[in-house]
């Protein structure tokens, strides 16, 4: 089974024209690793002194890119949630600020 990654722009939510394909992966795990990198990249410029986890998540919800992993076979029940991952990542990030 193969998986592909599609990126949706939160700034243009539900606008299919602003989404794009990011690649194909042999395994679900490989696709999720790449999806996590994309989520983390958003916070590089967004994370500066004084911003809370709530501030960062609000920015992500408005302007972040949400990578979605699609399997070639729709019966696959594995699901990566970019928002759930972002929440966990941001909490850890803010703990160190």
pLDDT, tens only, 67-79: 999 888 777 677 8
- How many structural domains does the chain have? 1
Per-residue confidence (pLDDT) for residue 19, from 0 to 100 = 86
Please state, in angstroms and rounded to a whole number, the distance separating the CA atoms of residues 24 and 14: 22
Please state, in angstroms and rounded to a whole number, the distance separating the CA atoms of residues 5 and 49: 32
Write out the residue range of the structural domain in which residue 15 sits.
Answer: 3-95
Each residue's pLDDT tens digit, 33-68: 999 999 999 988 787 767 888 999 999 999 999 999
Q: Say whether pTM exceeds 0.75.
A: yes
Please state, in angstroms and rounded to a whole number, the distance separating the CA atoms of residues 46 and 87: 14
67 CB burial (10 A radius; 0-12, 13-18, 19+)? buried
């Amino acid at each position: 089974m193969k998986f592909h990654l599609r990126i949706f722009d939160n700034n243009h939510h539900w606008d299919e024209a602003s989404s794009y394909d990011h690649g194909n992966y042999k395994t679900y795990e490989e696709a999720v690793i790449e999806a996590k990198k994309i989520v983390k990249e958003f916070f590089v410029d967004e994370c500066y002194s004084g911003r809370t986890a709530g501030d960062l998540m609000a920015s992500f919800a408005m302007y972040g890119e949400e990578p979605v992993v699609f399997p070639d076979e729709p019966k696959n029940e594995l699901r990566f949630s970019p928002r759930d991952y972002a929440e966990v990542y941001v909490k850890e990030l803010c703990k160190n600020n």
